[in-house]
A and B are shown apart, each in its own frame.
Chain A
């Protein structure tokens, strides 16, 4: 298995990292998930639009579903831990399918640029509906004394109109 030059990490190491993160989210270990994020994490989810590709990107960076820092993500997690965050009380069941993982050297020393596809399926209560949201994540992970930390994640949904009734989960 090849290694990424700057960090001496194997592809398998990175896959395991992303799967561990997904497991935190699906098992609702949200504190464990927060612990995988760097204190200076930038966590964003811009909007996708349909447009003529000759006129530029179909991503609207200036409008997002998530525009988060560690502090605001922690607030979101703390809210979900109250007794009355009804979107997740009782909790929904999610499954994060992470695939098509590409690993490259990151923009700074000791960082990795990791691109992955995501498919998040969600079941709410006894509803027969299977909600889904899918797209691509572009991450930067940084090596630290406490292991790899997510420094930057940009989530690009493939849908312009989301069919999940809310984004009470993380991607």
Chain B
């Protein structure tokens, strides 16, 4: 397998990058297996990947098993309380040292030959060790392999395969300002409820990443059933109000507000007991944006997305409750992803709110969510219908490019946005999508 080699010439890829700047994307980006292989090496092994939240492993010995695309990861809190991430594959013959999803352990014994490791990754036990390997084998050479980089930001733990990658904080860049509004607004920070939802969707990772990152426009049609039901507003522009903010490194966020004149509770209806904490933990500029926020939805390039909407589950007129949902679109193939979806809530929130927030999430997102159901189905249809000759034709002509033209040269950034990034005065805009795919093309070209 030609890992990392592009299935198109450098010249064609450069023209793809130039086209996406002008709002055109070749449809083969969604389904070409060669592009997928190149993405693994040039994008996924170079960027920070979300692994889990500190609240999932609060105590020494707590562990979860995760995946960085195709690399198995054992993420744990060691005996010193430090977070560690190892390749979950025995240094002896490669079997996983742990196949449980989560738990608490002091040691991990490989079931193949019995090599045992401690929470520092050290090889501390070998069956019949001295008799078969003698004193000469240096056990310290055969520790669990560490994930090259690991770092966390407000409880969000990331790993990176590239030892030379910029730091996590550098990678997140201006996105931190917007993440803080979700993750760092209350004194105690966020906690994950239960375990993540996991399910398989036969689609391409970019479709879901770009949908959350740059596509509030889809809500009017994809989620029209909510309009028909009277849960979502009739106004087809309802998800356009607010600002789309293009951030560096391919990240993007939509800070959606209510339609002009429509009164919504401040701070997404979060309990008033938390408001003094917003004063303490957020800047005046962040609070100014947060106060009018209805939905925060975006993507941290390449494949970590979030949505924090206000949603009701009881039908028309039922109260709207907000939640914070992060998800990783783990690519399994060009046409297959595994979704990992975590719901989080402020630790300091009243128990009653935590329960309402969870119910709001279950009703709208996750595989049974009334909004998510339709997204998954349509993303699947896109990939199924992008495999043919016309879609795969690598001549970048108008016959096989898709339309990312919305707002190009037409919508100008605002000058008075209080946050970082380039903010546009509408969320029905392909500015983030163009930036996302430009970053994608640049990384493939690198």
A binds B: yes
Q: Is the CB of A161 within 8 A of B378?
A: no
Q: Is the CB of B229 within 8 A of A127?
A: no
B residues near A87, Cβ cutoff 8 Å:
373-374, 376-377
Minimum C-beta distance from A52 to chain B (A): 6
- Beta-carbon contacts of A93-126 to B below 8 Å, as 1s and 0s? 0000000000000000000000000000000110
**Is B225 positioned at the interface, with any CB of A under 8 Å from its CB?**
yes
A166 and B377 in contact (CB under 8 A), knowing A51-B103, A64-B362, A84-B224?
A: yes
**Which segment of B137-145, B190-198, B393-401, B422-430 sits at the interface?**
B190-198
**Is A150 positioned at the interface, with any CB of B under 8 Å from its CB?**
no
A residues near B228, Cβ cutoff 8 Å:
82-84
The 8 Å CB contact of B193, one of A62, A82, A166, is A62
**Is A66 positioned at the interface, with any CB of B under 8 Å from its CB?**
yes
Q: Is the CB of A79 within 8 A of B376?
A: no
**Is B101 positioned at the interface, with any CB of A under 8 Å from its CB?**
yes
Q: State which residues 41-84 of A face B: CB under 8 Å.
A: 45, 47, 49-52, 55, 60, 62-67, 71-72, 74-76, 78-79, 82-84
A65 and B366 in contact (CB under 8 A), knowing A79-B226, A82-B229?
A: yes
A65 and B362 in contact (CB under 8 A), knowing A49-B102, A51-B101, A162-B198?
A: yes
Complex: A52 Cα to B202 Cα, angstroms: 31
Q: Is the CB of B103 within 8 A of A165?
A: no
Q: Is the CB of B222 within 8 A of A165?
A: no
A75 and B199 in contact (CB under 8 A), knowing A50-B100, A55-B103?
A: no
The 8 Å CB contact of B367, one of A79, A84, A127, A167, is A167
**Interface size counted on chain B using CB atoms at 8 A:** 45
- Chain A contact residues (Cβ within 8 angstroms of B): what range? 35 or more
Q: State which residues 379-434 of B face A: CB under 8 Å.
A: 380-381, 384
A residues near B286, Cβ cutoff 8 Å:
none
A residues near B376, Cβ cutoff 8 Å:
87, 165-166
Q: Is the CB of A52 within 8 A of B199?
A: no
The 8 Å CB contact of B315, one of A51, A75, A164, is A75
Q: Is the CB of B229 within 8 A of A79?
A: yes
Complex: A82 Cα to B199 Cα, angstroms: 26
Minimum C-beta distance from B59 to chain A (A): 13
Q: Is the CB of B225 within 8 A of A85?
A: yes
B residues near A60, Cβ cutoff 8 Å:
194-195
A163 and B101 in contact (CB under 8 A), knowing A66-B362, A74-B315?
A: no
Task: Write the residues of chain A forming the contact surface with B, with a CB cutoff of 8 angstroms.
Answer: 45, 47, 49-52, 55, 60, 62-67, 71-72, 74-76, 78-79, 82-88, 124-125, 127, 129, 160-168
Pick the 8 closest A-B CB pairs, nearest first: A63-B194, A167-B368, A84-B224, A82-B228, A87-B373, A162-B199, A161-B198, A85-B225
- Beyond the given pairs A72-B313, A86-B222, 8 more chain A to chain B contacts, judged by CB atoms under 8 angstroms and listed by A's residue number, are A50-B100, A62-B193, A67-B358, A83-B228, A125-B381, A162-B198, A162-B367, A166-B376
